[in-house]
Amino acid sequence: MSPASPTRSAWSSSADILGVSDILHRDERIRLEELREFFQTRVRPVALQHWSAGTFPFELLPELANIGLVGTLSETGNHLFSGLVQLEFTRADTSVSTFFGVHNELFTSAIQLLGSAEQKRTYLPDLLAMRSVGAFALTEPEHGSDISRLMQTTAERRGDEWILNGAKRWIGNGTFADFVLVWARDVADQQIKGFVVEKDRAGFTTRRIANKTAVRSVQNADIVLDNVHLPFDKWLPGTTNFAATNGLLLNSRVWVAWQAVGQQFAAVDVARDYVLCRHQFRKPLAANQLVQATVVRMLENTSLSLGLMVQIARMQTSGTLTMDQAALAKSTCTRYMRETVALGRPLLGSNGITVESEMAKIFADAEAIYSYEGTYEMNSLIVGRALTGYSTF
Amino acid sequence: MSPASPTRSAWSSSADILGVSDILHRDERIRLEELREFFQTRVRPVALQHWSAGTFPFELLPELANIGLVGTLSETGNHLFSGLVQLEFTRADTSVSTFFGVHNELFTSAIQLLGSAEQKRTYLPDLLAMRSVGAFALTEPEHGSDISRLMQTTAERRGDEWILNGAKRWIGNGTFADFVLVWARDVADQQIKGFVVEKDRAGFTTRRIANKTAVRSVQNADIVLDNVHLPFDKWLPGTTNFAATNGLLLNSRVWVAWQAVGQQFAAVDVARDYVLCRHQFRKPLAANQLVQATVVRMLENTSLSLGLMVQIARMQTSGTLTMDQAALAKSTCTRYMRETVALGRPLLGSNGITVESEMAKIFADAEAIYSYEGTYEMNSLIVGRALTGYSTF
Amino acid sequence: MIVDTVRSRGEVPYPDADLLSVTELLSGDERTRLASLRQFFQDEVRPVATELWNRAAFPFELLPRLAALDLVGRNGRRDSALLTGLAVMEFARADTSLCSFFLIHSELFTEAIRTLGSDAHRRELLPALTDLTNVGAFALTEPDHGSDVSREMETTAERVGDEWILRGSKRWIGNASLADYILVWARDTGDSQVKGFLVEHGRAGLSTSVILNKIALRIVQNADVVLDDVHIPFDNWLPGTTSFRDTDGLLKNSRTWVAWQAVGQQFAAIDIARSYALERKQFGKPLAARQIVQEQLVRMVGNATTSLSLMIQLARLQEEDALRMEHAALAKATCSARMRETVAIGRAMLGGNGISTDFEMAKVFADAEAIYSYEGSYEINALIVGRAFTGLSAFD
Amino acid sequence: MIVDTVRSRGEVPYPDADLLSVTELLSGDERTRLASLRQFFQDEVRPVATELWNRAAFPFELLPRLAALDLVGRNGRRDSALLTGLAVMEFARADTSLCSFFLIHSELFTEAIRTLGSDAHRRELLPALTDLTNVGAFALTEPDHGSDVSREMETTAERVGDEWILRGSKRWIGNASLADYILVWARDTGDSQVKGFLVEHGRAGLSTSVILNKIALRIVQNADVVLDDVHIPFDNWLPGTTSFRDTDGLLKNSRTWVAWQAVGQQFAAIDIARSYALERKQFGKPLAARQIVQEQLVRMVGNATTSLSLMIQLARLQEEDALRMEHAALAKATCSARMRETVAIGRAMLGGNGISTDFEMAKVFADAEAIYSYEGSYEINALIVGRAFTGLSAFD
């Protein structure tokens, strides 16, 4: 018996018991199915080993480029479709989907939305083909949720150059990205602006953050900017103040909420396979009431989360989505996810603490999702402010 | 089948699976057993009807006096023993035990601890014999947790008299108590002091709070004090400022924590009887894994709560108990209690929403205990202040 | 004191706590209809409900105005599944007891006549049922059998010539004491199958006694029903009922409507909690300005919003005729579990005032327990889902 | 960065988060001993543990100093049950992996020799075991059988002349790869009873392979053990083991010590969370000055304090020789469930830093999963309690 073998056939029996993918157009369904097959057969099998070793699966980059993922996501106007793609990616592996989200949702989107025509011409072709990889450097060692008010990294304009100084922390893809979008406070007008920093600039150094217990394949970096000189046109002209990040952070929050759904699908997949295969007292674990009740609570949370995201996608597509709603999606879906994986992990007993079981990885990764893109508490207080009119942060 | 018949025999099979009562001296154990028998056979059977009707069981007063409860509690120096007595009282009925707690822990204790020799001589004999009943009037319509800072009821000294003005809310026993200990702000020095107000004083009116869904037999009152004139010696000389309430509120918080344990014992009693008697699919409900898991979670919470109270009693007996510790006991035991009764209520299905099942009453009463003597949140923030050094209220 | 939700509406964003802009899913006409239903529930039902609840009294005087809403569906008119669900939600948001009364009458009894009755049944009964001049009840559960009643039903129907003779007893039957008709489910002694029979009010041998001292749904008149050799004509058998399986369609949909009630209950709790938190001051500032309280409100809104999102999918499945029992069971279990957490948070937010129905929340909190336990307990619904998802039955 | 708990001690009340003044329950000598054990764990174990955990490496160099504490009990010396429990708690508070290593060696292996071995076993083995110059392991669970191993055990012991021949495989055996002795439980093919056998390191046919890629208790070396016709002398059978029941005493106590570990884990999380919340600033003030964070800390302390209170009662029952398996099962299930909530709250309080072992909390959080699942899963322990309390078995 291989309790959680990464290759399976019964995809029809997924956690999407509400048939949400039926809402898609036929073409989208076919493409989604194709991508799911890719994620399950190409990404999922290699993810475990890289996660254990804390290494990034560079060998996947050509395949990811080849399957045309960046293009699919940037061309569709249907946010439900793109959300389900992100769900399926995370269902196969959260680390790799996080790498991709940083590259696509944060860096590439920033160029598309906030870059000059020239910048788009320069960067986009390689980004879309994944010949170059981007990162996004906002948080700092001393400031996470309060970064907008207390950012310490500075940019000073001198003639045709900018000079950047400061430090950034937890920057995903930071160790190897070709380009890092660094946010810094312009000392002239005190506004926060975005700058494209190439990895080989003098004064730009990165140090890998080791010893992570979650999304271990993601290469997070501590970054130091020590008098980094940049040409003037490395500034993204769409970034005249911190509000420029709003659209990006709105979308990335939604993307992370989709990750939280994907994590739950993954946990349900692994849990069901295990409890159907593993026998105790000569019957499958799944024949126990307690086990079924646990799996059903996982399904409840998953269905609630997916149901919410269908509505979020609708509002995103119609252009009415607000940060309040995105924050509610992020806090609520990650709250459910955390419970779901906590229910699923012990179903595998001690086997559930080995990476090979997959469940240990899923369980551990949930903690990153719960805390990044705004902690649970911070997103809750954004919604709380909207509901009450009082700000408490 | 009578799923939750109020008379049972198997008391040996109580929720005290840790045998905590074995810690008591033999005499105390015998007395505790005697009182439990009294509570179960005299109080429990009449409690349901009064709860439904929202009436107070005055017929119990002579019996309560006769069994010598006030004396037992005031004479023992062993707080574990008195706590277990309070647990057993609540296990039979929370409303009646609340009535008694107000009379004994708040009013009678105040006379004993803060009264003059003359006041003790005047009031104590009738209080101990329950020929007169006391109440305790602290909270006001607009102020609960913040009463110490914002109390609006005033006492003005004029010659040999005090003149009281103001309003009080939620005063247990308030509608019929012979004496109400009213807390008011002395306009001369702005300090909060305690005054004994007899029920027939001119200007003193009470109105019963109807439509309660919890502790329905407790007669809570809205009280209005409209120029109530009192002789000077109705002031308790031990009450020169709000700090005088500390000892009382410390003990009453502990008493309420014991109630939270008693509620859980009651829920376990009723749940077990029901799941052993009620059959579904031709076997007892108790033979289902899901049912056992639920009952065990109730036992877990009950054991945790009782375990904590044994330690609280030890510190109370040694005189070292602080308000931080009492607040932790109140917030934690009521948190567990709330989960325990929420687990127990649905074990009875729809039968669990009728008062006759007893479980509906227990479930409903939990809400009063969770919110009185400082809400869950307020007690948590008292402990939080102790743990961090920061006050957030 | 009913907290003034309307007043606070103008003062805060998302006045109805609708973070989904849910009416965007409706047509223009449907939006208008939902708004007028909502207004009726808030203006005509909610203000009278608490006092009725306290007295456990039923408001017969409300029935004509309720009938005017045409919710039961005159002449075959039907609202869409989503609009119906949202209407149930808004009804429960105003008062859950009256909503339950209505669902028993409309979705269990009247729907049974519609889908399982004969043409004659439909012709004769539907007009008065859709006008609420007649009221129906649905008698399935028995004193000793709730979740296992399908297997263990003890009530019998014996065919004797042109009559059926019914014997047995039923428990927890909502509306039974005031209903013109009770649909009684009984085991035909001829073929041992469970079938449905119409028993008119006043039949000899039929007696009902109202269950008193409930802490939940106190406006609903639940009764113990005794059938002591009740003779009824052969035609009182609903010809669409030849075995217990024929209840499936009814129970599947009614479970779905109960899930919508669980959503409505959550929004009721949110309405009350938010208004209270904005108005109640502690240490000189509103409760709503405190972190702990905001996190609690958001948890309530998160639960309610995701429950509503789930139900939007259920409505889609209903419209596509793809709804299965396990979907309905999932919805009922999930939404009622969320509801239970939501109302528990809300109840505590009101402190001592939360145990007095004068502040409404105590009623909402108590009613949740009935929703959680009826139409299949949480556990039974969970095991239905579990069976569908694992292929293994763990009921016994 | 190890958060400096010591520094913050001087600055806040209840520096050890001991709201029970628990040392009041100890004698003067015991207090002194506990204080010195605690100091060793905090000063010698905690600072090295995270780096070992990252590398999944075992610190052999620590063993002599650990032996000097005389925790295993030389020459029959035993600490009281409460002091032993508190020592386990403080050990786990510093590092759970090393505490688990110790418990396997001391409370499972050495205790088995003490209570189930022959006089010769005791005479020959105990000195080196109590000095930690020899290390033991305990091999019960099998690849396909965890909770049901008592009924389904597949490993066999066949008696042939003066020898036993052991065949089978074991999984998850802590310390097995580095142990001098493994106590292997196997079914005697003669009478079909499960019995215990000493297998020395290096026996032909014995092979162990360390289980890699664990996310919890990474310092503990768990191994898959294969017994391929391993011949051992007859005297390697522990004469106190004539059936599976003989494991009861060991498992009852070891379950109790694991419950103490669950308490220690909670205090570890509290230590780290509080220090972090006091030091980390957000919007210009410490996290610890925020309501949400305080409520979370208090919930952690409430869980830990009640768990500790429960264990004080367990220690009393142990001292009175009144401890039953259902008590131990209750303690294990209860404390590990509380622990799981406590460390989850604590983990999140550190935000992104909570997923890096550099801040310790990630290790505490991950280790909790092993505690929750070993020595009987939560569910198995719950069903043991359920059987005792209802008289009905619901295991299958």
Amino acid, single-letter form, for residue D106: S
B 293-322 → A contacts, CB under 8 A: 293
Dist CA A90 CA A123 (whole Å): 26
Q: What mean pLDDT do residues B313-332 have?
A: 95
pLDDT at B10: 31
Confidence of residue D65 (pLDDT cuts 50, 70, 90): very high
Distance from CA of D301 to the nearest CA of B (A): 8
Residue C3 has pLDDT above 50, yes or no: no
A269-325: pLDDT as tens digits:
999 999 999 988 888 999 999 999 999 999 999 999 999 999 999 999 999 999 999
Amino acid, single-letter form, for residue A186: D
Q: What mean pLDDT do residues A250-272 have?
A: 96
Higher pLDDT, B18 or D41: D41
pLDDT at D30: 96
Higher pLDDT, A393 or A322: A322
Residue B19 has pLDDT above 80, yes or no: yes
In chain D, the residue whose alpha carbon lies closest to the alpha carbon of B15 is: D389
Chains that touch D (3 or more CB pairs under 8 A): A, B, C
B263-279: pLDDT as tens digits:
999 999 999 999 999 98
> With contacts defined as CB-CB under 8 Å, which chain A residues touch C386?
292-293, 295-296
Distance from CA of B114 to the nearest CA of D (A): 28
pLDDT at C15: 87
In this prediction, what percent of chain C has a pLDDT beyond 90? Answer: 86
> With contacts defined as CB-CB under 8 Å, which chain A residues touch C314?
18
Confidence of residue B13 (pLDDT cuts 50, 70, 90): low
Distance from CA of D334 to the nearest CA of A (A): 15
Dist CA C268 CA C359 (whole Å): 12
pLDDT at C10: 46
The residue of B290, B291, B295 whose CB has the most chain A CBs within 10 angstroms, and thus the best one to mutate to test that interface, is B290
Dist CA B326 CA B316 (whole Å): 9
Spatial CA neighbour of D364 closest among D278, D268, D292: D268
The residue of C283, C290, C291 whose CB has the most chain D CBs within 10 angstroms, and thus the best one to mutate to test that interface, is C291
Q: What mean pLDDT do residues B225-251 have?
A: 95
A 160-179 → B contacts, CB under 8 A: none
Confidence of residue D231 (pLDDT cuts 50, 70, 90): very high
Spatial CA neighbour of A323 closest among A245, A259, A244, A246: A246
Residue C268 has pLDDT above 90, yes or no: yes
Spatial CA neighbour of D302 closest among A295, B280, B332, A23: B332
A65-90: pLDDT as tens digits:
999 998 888 888 899 999 999 999 99
Q: What mean pLDDT do residues D80-108 have?
A: 97
Confidence (pTM): 0.89
Q: What mean pLDDT do residues B6-23 have?
A: 62
B 209-268 → C contacts, CB under 8 A: 209-215
Q: In terms of C-beta density within 10 A (0-12 exposed, 13-18 middle, 19 or more buried), how is residue A146 classed?
A: middle
Confidence of residue C11 (pLDDT cuts 50, 70, 90): low
Dist CA D87 CA D22 (whole Å): 13
- For D310, the closest of B288, B307, B335 (CB atoms) is B307
- Check C306 against A307: CB less than 8 A apart: yes
Backbone phi, psi, residue A261, to 5°: -75, -45
D128-151: pLDDT as tens digits:
999 999 999 999 999 988 888 888
Tokens 């099962």 found at: D329
What residues contact residue C11 under an 8 Å CB cut-off, 6+ apart? A389, C278
Helix axes D96-103, D46-55, angle to 10 degrees: 90
pLDDT at D11: 62
Dist CA C40 CA B185 (whole Å): 48
Instruction: Tell me whether B342 touches chain C (CB under 8 Å).
Output: yes
A 160-179 → D contacts, CB under 8 A: 170
- First-to-last CA distance in chain C? 48
pLDDT at A148: 86
Q: What mean pLDDT do residues D279-307 have?
A: 93
Indicate if the alpha-carbon torsion angle D49, D55, D56, D61 is positive or negative.
Answer: negative
Residue A350 has pLDDT above 90, yes or no: no
pLDDT at A5: 34
Instruction: Return left, alpha or beta for D132; rule: phi > 0 is left, psi -120 to 50 is alpha, else beta.
Output: left
Residue D5 has pLDDT above 80, yes or no: no
Coil, strand, or helix at residue D58? coil
Residue C1 has pLDDT above 50, yes or no: no
C175-229: pLDDT as tens digits:
999 999 999 999 999 999 999 999 999 999 999 999 999 999 999 999 999 999 9
- Check D390 against B293: CB less than 8 A apart: no
A110-124, B62-76, D5-19: which is most confident:
A110-124
- For D356, the closest of A212, A280, A372 (CB atoms) is A212
Instruction: Tell me whether D204 touches chain C (CB under 8 Å).
Output: no
Dist CA B18 CA D314 (whole Å): 8
- First-to-last CA distance in chain A? 52
Residue C52 has pLDDT above 90, yes or no: yes
Structure tokens at B354: 């009728």
Q: What mean pLDDT do residues D282-310 have?
A: 93
Dist CA A174 CA C280 (whole Å): 48
Residue C164 has pLDDT above 70, yes or no: yes
Interface A-D: count of C-beta contacts within 8 A:
127
Distance from CA of C56 to the nearest CA of A (A): 34
Instruction: Tell me whether A287 touches chain B (CB under 8 Å).
Output: no
In chain B, the residue whose alpha carbon lies closest to the alpha carbon of C53 is: B211
Mean pLDDT of chain A: 92
How many contiguous H segments (helices) and E segments (strands) does chain D have?
Answer: 14, 9
Q: What mean pLDDT do residues C286-301 have?
A: 94
What residues contact residue D159 under an 8 Å CB cut-off, 6+ apart? D188, D189, D190, D234
Confidence of residue A4 (pLDDT cuts 50, 70, 90): very low
Confidence of residue B301 (pLDDT cuts 50, 70, 90): very high
Dist CA C345 CA C333 (whole Å): 19
> With contacts defined as CB-CB under 8 Å, which chain D residues touch B388?
12, 274, 277-278, 286, 288-289, 294, 297
Residue D6 has pLDDT above 60, yes or no: no
Q: What dihedral angle (degrees, nearest 10) is formed by the CA atoms of D79, D82, D85, D91?
A: -70
Residue C285 has pLDDT above 80, yes or no: yes
Q: What mean pLDDT do residues D384-395 have?
A: 90
Eight-class DSSP state of C142: B
pLDDT at D74: 86
Supply the ipTM of this predicted assembly. Answer: 0.86
